[in-house]
Amino acid sequence: MEKKIIELSGVKVYRNNQLTLDIEQLAVASGELIAVSGANGAGKSTLLQVLNMLLPYQQGLLTLFGQDVAKGGQENARRLSSMMFQETLLVDGTVYDNVALPLKFRSYPQAQITEQVMAVLKTFQCHHLADRQAKQLSGGEAQRVGLARALVYRPQLLLLDEPFAALDTASRTAILTDLKQVATLNQLTVLLISHNFNDVLYFADRVVVLADGRIIQDDCPEVVLRRPASREVAVLVDMDNILPCQVEVSGQEAIFHLPGGLAFKRNSATSQNHSLYTKANACCLPGDAIYILNEGSALRQLPMVTVCGTVAGITPGIGAYKIRVEARGLSLTVRAPREQILTLTSGSNVEVAFSPDEVQLV
């Protein structure tokens, strides 16, 4: 049985008599790497502040490391947790002095302080900065030093409130690479707030999406990316295609109606889905689930929805190009490898296809 590091049940936080956080259930096991995502004001920072006991909650149960924090578990939780904010606050002095602070506060022997400080600086590739003044560090260096300081006393839980948001993509990826390796090796539990879904896909095993202080989706990154639970989540993950849609349900069959008279069928598997089918007014479709058909394509033998259109624009990208196709009143974004679109230009006539099973109602 997995050890639970965090358990919340019915936790509510009010500010100025307004409910700002309402977590029915959330459990985090030891070693999980979790991204907490959501729009501005969704409650992400509030959740982390509650977990770090910086903000009181008015209702519910919060258990950290198996202890109810309302019944004396706060001291143990603080000893085993660490938090890093968006702005790294370094004190005057050297990098070594800054990273050593948590150990000095805990009255560690000097020899052990030196050993752990130099070890963690080496882990995050900044041991050569040990004697440099903290105020002379670049942004990326300061974030690495801040992360080293957060982990020098070897906590079991690390809370990250968008500490890498201001860094360039290469620097963020490098830091997340090192952090993920450290977390995996040491069974460290990490909750990372991030608006950047590329970071989420790269780092996290699980994504918790918040809106209005509530959890609206909790799943692995790929499911959140390709099967968003709501339009709000679809917008958050920058879904390529969010299309107006009406659905008719007849028995076990659902008929999707999109603009331009485009319609297709798929099975409506359960009565539970019936409500979702009839309430939905939009559907979403990842760009890499839409295929550009060539003559003789094997995809023509599959039960695909096909539509003819015109290329309205091509945007280069790393890994895949984005092709905007105007088809029967629909504007579709298709993602395809460069070699598949070399012969296409704006104005080219194309036929595209997708599987009905890839369409997600929101």
Number of domains in the chain: 2
Question: 131 and 46: one domain?
Answer: yes
Helix (H) / strand (E) containing 107? none
C-alpha to C-alpha distance for 140 and 130, rounded to whole angstroms: 15
Question: 72 and 172: one domain?
Answer: yes
Q: Which residue has the tokens 């394509």?
A: 297
pLDDT (mean) for 310-324: 94
Give the pLDDT confidence score for residue 274 in this predicted structure.
62
Residue 63 has pLDDT above 80, yes or no: yes
Share above pLDDT 90 across residues of the chain, in percent, rounded to a whole number: 77
CA distances from 126 to 110, 138, 168, 215, 248 (A): 20, 12, 18, 37, 60
For 304-323, the DSSP string reads -EEEEEEEEEEE--SS-EEE
C-alpha to C-alpha distance for 334 and 288, rounded to whole angstroms: 6
For 128-163, the DSSP string reads GGTTSBGGG--HHHHHHHHHHHHHTT--SEEEEEST
Question: 168 and 219: one domain?
Answer: yes
Supply the DSSP symbol for 2. Answer: P
Give the pLDDT confidence score for residue 157 in this predicted structure.
98
Examine the fold and report which residue of 211, 235, 259 is the final residue of a domain before the chain moves on: 235
pLDDT (mean) for 333-349: 93
Question: 220 and 245: one domain?
Answer: no
Question: 151 and 269: one domain?
Answer: no
Examine the fold and report which residue of 214, 235, 256 is the final residue of a domain before the chain moves on: 235
Give the residue, 150 or 294, on which the prediction is more confident. 150
Return the CATH number at 257.
2.40.50.100
Question: 317 and 246: one domain?
Answer: yes
Answer whether 0.85 is exceeded by the pTM. yes
Question: 194 and 104: one domain?
Answer: yes
Residue 180 has pLDDT above 60, yes or no: yes
Examine the fold and report which residue of 203, 235, 267 is the final residue of a domain before the chain moves on: 235
Question: 183 and 40: one domain?
Answer: yes
- List pLDDT tens digits, range 201-218: 889 999 999 999 999 999
Supply the DSSP symbol for 94. Answer: B
Q: What angle do CA 151, 152, 153 make, to 5 degrees?
A: 95
- List pLDDT tens digits, range 259-271: 989 999 988 654 4
C-alpha to C-alpha distance for 91 and 101, rounded to whole angstroms: 10
Give the pLDDT confidence score for residue 271 in this predicted structure.
42
C-alpha to C-alpha distance for 72 and 29, rounded to whole angstroms: 21
pLDDT (mean) for 308-331: 94
C-alpha to C-alpha distance for 242 and 285, rounded to whole angstroms: 7
Residue 165 has pLDDT above 90, yes or no: no
SS3 300: helix
Residue 272 has pLDDT above 60, yes or no: no
Closest CA to 190 of 179, 199, 201: 179
Supply the DSSP symbol for 186. Answer: H
Give the pLDDT confidence score for residue 2 in this predicted structure.
75
Give the pLDDT confidence score for residue 354 in this predicted structure.
96
- List pLDDT tens digits, range 4-26: 999 999 999 999 999 999 999 99
Question: 8 and 131: one domain?
Answer: yes
Are 208 and 34 in contact by the 8 Å Cβ rule? The answer is: yes
Closest CA to 167 of 141, 204, 205, 197: 141
* Domain enclosing residue 141, as ranges: 4-235
pLDDT (mean) for 74-86: 92
Question: 94 and 163: one domain?
Answer: yes
Question: 291 and 320: one domain?
Answer: yes
Q: Using CB atoms within 10 A of its CB, is residue 281 exposed (0-12), middle (13-18) or buried (19+)?
A: exposed
pLDDT (mean) for 62-69: 96
Return the CATH number at 185.
3.40.50.300
Residue 250 has pLDDT above 90, yes or no: no
Give the pLDDT confidence score for residue 273 in this predicted structure.
60
Of the pLDDT bands very low, low, confident and very high (cuts 50, 70, 90), residue 78 is very high
Give the residue, 332 or 295, on which the prediction is more confident. 332
CA 126 to chain centre: 27
Question: 91 and 212: one domain?
Answer: yes
